Structures are given as C-alpha cells and as structure tokens.
C-alpha cells in the first residue's frame, strides 16, 4: 500500500477519451497490484448526463481499453464499486453541489479528506476550475492533502504558459500543482538519470571532450488520427518537442543533482533548459530547423492518407508533422557539441531513442575506411524493445587490423522480475504520495517555452520557411539528412535495438 493514506481522485473531463483510455486502466492495474490505499475512490466529473452505473459501465465494466487478460472480471467489478460520477451543468457554475458530493463520498469511503483533482479538460478552463474549487475551500490543505494534476498542452506559447502558471498559482501553491508529462513516467526515461549518475563508466565521458554529437529520434508510424482539429493548430514542435523531448534533453544535458529529491533534480533540469542556446537570428533558424508534413504513402504495406486529407485538418495546412532541429548548449560541459533532435508522425516505425556519438580516438592507429561511421555509440532505447546498446570496435579475424563494429546490448525484458509500471500508473501513484520528481515545475515549463517560442514565431512569420513534404512511411524530408554534417547521418532505427542504420521494418 506504499504508505499512501486514503485518497479521493476527482477527474474533471471524466467522460473524455483520456479517462477511458489511460486513467481508469492505470488505476485498475494499480488496484490489482495492491498499490492503491485501502480507502480509495474516484469521482468522475463532466457535463455528460450519466449516473454512477453508466460511468462504471463506460470506464470499467465495458471499457475496451482494459485488456481482458488484466485480472479477473470479479476484480473489475470490485474495482468498479469505487467509481462514482457527478454531473456538472457547466464548469463555470458554482461547485457547491460538487463540494457536497465530495464531502459525502469522503465520509462514506473514508478517504480522510485527501483529494486529488485531475484536470483532463482544455487548458483554457484550468483557472476557472481552480477558482471554483478555491471558492469551496477545496484548495486549502487544512483538512487533508489537496493536489491538482494538469494535463498538457501546458500553454500554447511562452506568454500563455506564464498566464496559466499565474492563474493556477492564484488558488493553489506550486507544491500542490502537478504538471503531467507522461514521458517522465516511462521507466527508460527515468533510467537516463541512473545510467548517467550511477555508473562511473559513463559519467566521466559525458562531456564535450569525448562526445562528438547527440542525436535524438522520436518517431511514430501513426498519423494524427481523429485529433486533426487539435493537432492542426499545434504541430509537432508544440505537441512533442516542447514537452516530451525537452524533458528527455534536460535529463541528458543536466549536471549531477546534489541528491535524489524532487527539488534538487528539478533545479538541475531547469538549469539545463536555460542553458540551451536560444536560436534567434533568421539565418540560424533557417539553417538549423526543418519542418515537414506527411503526404499519402504506405505504412506496413497499407495505403494511408496525407496529412491534409485527415479529418479536422485544413486542406491547405502547413502545420508540421515532422520537426528536426540542430542546436547547442551553452555551458562548460556541452560547449560546441551539436544536438540533433527530430520528432515526426508517419515514419516507417515507432521508436524513441537517444544516441550519444563519441569522438574518435585522438590518435588513430588503425586507419580504416569509413571509421567515422564506426564511431563508438551509446544508444539508449526509450521505446520499444527498451534497452541500452553500446557499439564498439573489434578486430576482424584474419591478417592485419581491420576494425568492425560490435554490439553490447541490454534489454529491460531480460530483467524478468521487473514488473514495469505503465507511465500513468507510476505518475498517479507518485502524485498520491506527493512526490513531484517526475512532474514539471512552473519554471521548467517556462524555460522550455523560451527555447521553442522563437522557432515557432520564425516558422509562422518568415517568408523563407517552407514545409517540406515527405511520403508517409519514409524517414522525413530528404534535406533533413543534411542537417548532420560530415559523414554522419541520422541513425534510422528499426523496431529492434540492434537493427542498423537504414533498416526499417515492413511487416
Ligand atoms: C502525446 C502526443 O503527448 O504523445 C501524441 O500528443 C503522441 O501526438 C503521444 O502520439 C506519443 O506518446 P507515446 O507514449 O506513444 O510515445
């Protein structure tokens, strides 16, 4: 039970997709794993006309996102008894009725006045909800813990992110606000910290003296699906880079924290984000940023539509579904080490990985053609086929000293005892325990926007910017390959960690 006291989780926007797809399935898993407190209940709140029974049916008993293999149906029925629903006419009405319901449930379920409010609603109503909760005394921690979890997008640009922060902080203290970024809930993202700071074989090399460049790929084979309406006004940079990728980048870049506490780690992450060199002049922005958009093509042998044909997308849209950036980090550790980062939809496969390219030995004894592409690499695979791969040179048997590259690989799946929690499970549990390490702090979010804002403005306003088309199922526009100088290119990974560049999976 992890020492968590009773908890009442109040989900705003409970009739939406996230509750059904992620939140309830995660809670169900936590319940089955015995991780939830004895006294635990969920109150779904939204504007749909439902009662407790309808809600239980929708999100638990008949939820297609809870695999049948998860526990037995008896468990599901038991779990469903802890779910309740409250219908709000509108989010702006008085929450007096809601407060009464919360108090009644608290009493009945023994949740000890510990309330966690989860906002799975559009960010424009975050502040309204926070103020209405405050009106009812529900932000005050006098009678128990009161926490507010907010979903992304956290702001549309720097200014709106600042407004959101100020708006929420009017009613809740920063220590009560948990900004969720589900990438931080991924084991492999957290493992970046462990790889770096618990191994003396990596950390001494983790700097400009030994690292030539850093490459990060985040590829998805899916398109925008039914989210065209939202995505068309967001684009890849806002949807993925500003949050998930900058979180990964901050973990790669940061200095060792003094200790493992949330604030120590978050302080270093903010410092890392602030040390990214903000691109402001048009020439750099032109040369170091690339935007692309997928066109009709084939993925896994199936024809898929182009972005402009997707539901909810403007047929003349220039929104990017592919973004690639080159940038530098202005601090002692990373001076003049280029970072290349790309994120995209409709790529040949779904994969996220960080590749650390080490410099060649200062003095090359074994001269060999193509040594550049045989550089030592550390590949940290975030997903799928989670693991770590080291590429190093070995002698090819026979006469002379011909060098070939060999693999040293580790897979999480080999740690058979490890029961890997899904991202939302871990994050929900952490929030219940009040551990904010894996949540983004206000200044962290703002520092991320500070880096992204000038790129977005340039893309929106400059006449030089073009959106390159790429066929669905290829690794993005061709010119993105030129972003990486020299004999290096992107490592186009396959589903399996040890697949070599250029390999792509067609099943
Ligand atoms: C979400 C984005 O935050 O992350 C989606 O809004 C994207 O567009 C998703 O598909 C990717 O998450 P994951 O965990 O599947 O890599």
Cα–ligand 1 centroid distance for 249 (angstroms): 17
Give the number of the atom of ligand 1 that is nearest the alpha carbon of residue 423.
Answer: 14
Distance, CA of 319 to CA of 121 (rounded, Å): 23
Which atom of ligand 1 is closest in space to residue 220's alpha carbon?
10
Rounded CA gap, 306 and 91, in Å?
37
Ligand 1: residue whose CA is nearest its atom 4: 240
Q: How far apart are CA 497 and CA 53, in angstroms?
A: 45
Ligand 1 centroid to Cα of residue 320, in Å, is 15
Domain positions in the chain are 6-151, 185-362+441-506
pLDDT per position in the chain (507 positions), as tens? 456 789 999 999 999 999 999 999 999 999 988 999 999 999 999 999 999 999 999 999 999 988 765 666 678 899 999 999 999 999 999 999 999 999 999 999 999 999 999 999 999 999 999 999 999 999 999 989 999 999 988 999 999 999 999 999 999 999 999 999 999 999 899 999 999 999 999 999 999 999 999 999 999 999 999 899 999 999 999 999 999 999 999 999 999 999 989 999 999 999 999 999 999 999 999 999 999 999 999 888 899 999 999 999 999 999 999 999 999 999 999 999 999 999 999 999 999 999 999 998 888 777 666 555 568 999 999 998 889 999 988 888 888 888 888 899 998 888 866 567 889 999 999 999 999 999 999 999 999 999 999 999 999 999 889 999 999 999 999 888 889 987 788 988 877 777 665 444 333
Ligand 1 pocket: which residues have CB below 6 Å? 220, 239-240
Report whether the peptide linkage leading into residue 153 is cis, meaning its omega lies within 30 degrees of zero: yes
pLDDT value of residue 69? 57
Question: What is the model's pLDDT at position 459?
Answer: 96
Closest Cα to atom 15 of ligand 1: 220
CA dist list (Å): 350 to 34, 51, 496: 32, 39, 11
φ, ψ of residue 263 to 5 degrees: the values are -70, -35
Report which of 480, 472, 467 is spatially closest to residue 294, judged by C-alpha positions: 472
Q: Nearest to residue 442, comparing CAs of 167, 48, 66?
A: 167
Mutate to test the pocket of ligand 1, among 182, 219, 232 (most ligand atoms within 8 A of CB): 182
DSSP string, 378-392: EEEEEESS-EEEEEE
Ligand 1 centroid, distance to 345 Cα (angstroms): 10
Domain 185-362+441-506 in the same topology as domain 6-151: no
**What is the distance between the alpha carbons of residues 306 and 471, in angstroms, rounded to a whole number?**
8
353: three-class secondary structure by DSSP: strand
Looking at ligand 1, which residue's alpha carbon is closest to its atom 14?
Answer: 183
- Picking from 287, 231, 270, 220, the residue whose alpha carbon sits closest to that of residue 462 is 287
The pick from 244, 349, 354, 384 for probing ligand 1's pocket by mutation, whose C-beta has the most ligand atoms within 8 angstroms, reads 244
Give residue 73's pLDDT.
66
Q: Residue 309 has what DSSP assignment?
A: G
183 C-alpha vs ligand 1 centroid, how far in Å?
A: 9
Which atom of ligand 1 lies at the shortest distance from residue 239's CA?
6
What pLDDT score was predicted for residue 464? 87
CATH superfamily label, 6-151: NAD(P)-binding Rossmann-like Domain (3.40.50.720)
Nearest to 61 by CA among 49, 52, 73: 73
Which residue out of 240, 310, 381, 427 has the highest number of ligand 1 atoms within 8 Å of its CB and is therefore the one to mutate? Answer: 240
- Closest-CA residue, ligand 1 atom 9, reads 240
CATH number of the structural domain 185-362+441-506: 3.30.360.10
Question: Could you tell me the pTM of the whole model?
Answer: 0.93
C-alpha distances (whole Å) from 388 to each of 124, 204, 377 are 40, 18, 10
Active site members: 244
Cα 344 to ligand 1 centre (Å): 10
Query: Which is the closest atom of ligand 1 to the Cα of 352?
Result: 16
CA of 225 to the centre of ligand 1 (A): 12
């Amino acid at each position: 039970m992890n020492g968590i006291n009773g908890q009442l989780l109040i989900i705003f926007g409970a009739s939406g997709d996230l509750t059904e797809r992620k939140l309830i399935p995660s809670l169900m898993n936590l319940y089955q794993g015995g991780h939830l407190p004895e006294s635990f209940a969920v109150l779904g709140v939204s504007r749909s006309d439902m009662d407790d029974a309808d809600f239980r049916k929708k999100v638990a008993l008949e939820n297609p996102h809870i695999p049948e293999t998860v526990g037995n149906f008896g468990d599901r029925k038991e779990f469903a008894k802890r779910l309740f629903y409250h219908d709000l006419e509108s989010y702006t009405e008085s929450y007096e009725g809601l407060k009464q319901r919360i108090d009644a449930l608290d009493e009945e379920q023994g949740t000890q006045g510990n309330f966690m409010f989860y906002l799975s609603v559009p960010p424009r109503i975050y502040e309204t909800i926070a103020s209405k909760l405050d009106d009812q005394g529900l932000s005050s921690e006098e009678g128990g813990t009161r926490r507010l979890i907010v979903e992304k997008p956290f702001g549309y640009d720097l200014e709106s992110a600042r407004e959101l922060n100020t708006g929420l902080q009017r009613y809740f203290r920063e220590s009560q606000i948990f900004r969720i970024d589900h990438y931080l809930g991924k084991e492999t993202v957290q493992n970046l910290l462990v790889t770096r700071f618990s191994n003396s074989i990596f950390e001494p090399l983790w700097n400009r003296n030994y690292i030539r460049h850093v490459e990060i790929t985040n590829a998805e084979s899916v398109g925008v699906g039914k989210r065209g309406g939202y995505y068309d006004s967001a684009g890849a940079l806002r949807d993925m880079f500003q949050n998930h990728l900058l979180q990964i980048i901050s973990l790669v870049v940061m200095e060792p924290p003094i200790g493992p506490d949330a604030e120590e780690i978050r302080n270093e992450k903010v410092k890392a984000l602030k040390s990214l060199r903000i691109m402001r002049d048009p020439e750099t922005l032109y040369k170091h940023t690339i935007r692309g958009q997928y066109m009709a093509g084939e993925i896994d042998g199936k024809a898929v539509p182009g972005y402009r044909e997707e539901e909810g997308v403007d047929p003349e849209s220039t929104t990017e579904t592919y973004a690639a950036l080159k940038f530098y980090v202005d601090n002692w550790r990373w001076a003049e080490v280029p970072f290349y980062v790309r994120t995209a939809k409709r790529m040949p496969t779904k994969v996220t990985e960080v590749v650390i390219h080490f410099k060649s030995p200062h003095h090359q004894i074994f001269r060999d053609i193509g040594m550049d592409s045989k550089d030592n690499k550390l590949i940290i695979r975030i997903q799928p086929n989670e693991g770590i791969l080291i590429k190093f040179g070995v002698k090819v048997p026979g006469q002379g000293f011909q060098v070939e590259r060999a693999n040293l690989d580790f897979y999480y799946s080999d740690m058979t005892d490890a029961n890997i929690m899904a991202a939302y499970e871990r994050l929900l549990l952490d929030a219940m325990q009040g551990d904010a390490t894996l949540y983004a702090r206000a200044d962290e979010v703002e520092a991320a926007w500070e880096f992204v804002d000038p790129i977005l403005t340039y893309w929106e306003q400059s006449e030089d910017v073009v959106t390159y088309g790429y066929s669905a199922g290829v690794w993005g526009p061709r010119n993105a390959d030129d972003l990486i100088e020299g004999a290096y290119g992107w490592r186009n990974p396959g589903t399996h960690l040890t697949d070599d560049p250029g390999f792509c999976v067609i099943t």
